[in-house]
Structure 1
Amino acid sequence: MQISSKFTISVHLLALLDYLNDQQKVTSNILASSIGVNPVTVRNVMGDLKKANIINISQGQSGISLARPIDEITFYDIYKAIDSVNDEGMFHFHEHPDPDCPVGAISILHWIIS
């Protein structure tokens, strides 16, 4: 499993929102220019972040802003917001390790206990 580019786009977007912090109105075009992607891509990511209450989006004067302080937003919050299709979680461990392998045997015990 690989974390999608939407994750890095989201981290860049949130870092820029925190950096600009009310210095100027932030739009999807400003974010897209900084990130180097199409504004439509940014708007799609922003929709996911908004649904997760990580950002606020206003058509008025305020533009796009963080919904809470940056130090209260975890990488896992971002991951869950943008990769909700993957219900397996961030990590997925292989399910059929060799029971004769010392590491595989421990993995099997983990699956039994879980």
Structure 2
Amino acid sequence: MTVRPAPARPVAPAPRPPATPDVAAVLGPFVAWLASREPYEGLRRRQVRVVERFLRWAAADRGDPRTRRERFESEIGVGGTAEAQAVGSALDRLAEHRRILAIAPFLDD
């Protein structure tokens, strides 16, 4: 009796996380909102660059969404620097914008 190896079963691809919103669809409203909140153009530009970088990184990230910000800040490797404070400030602004959008439907009632 000849023993043959079992045929290899195709490996199913890992499930993809839920689709992340298009970067432009998130960034556009954020930029408009930020313009009404931050009077200094240089600071606005820096915050927009950081947020855009974060959104692009997040679109490719496959990790736990609850720890996404912490992993991003760790991965860019600016901990303990002035740039880390700028990144944190920009991501705080994005979080503030998202909180406002989350409650906006209730404001119309």
TM category, shorter? 0.3 to 0.5
Query: Which protein is richer in strand relative to its size?
Result: 1
Query: Which protein is richer in helix relative to its size?
Result: 2
The structure that has the greater radius of gyration is 2
Higher relative contact order (CA 8 A, sep 6+): 2
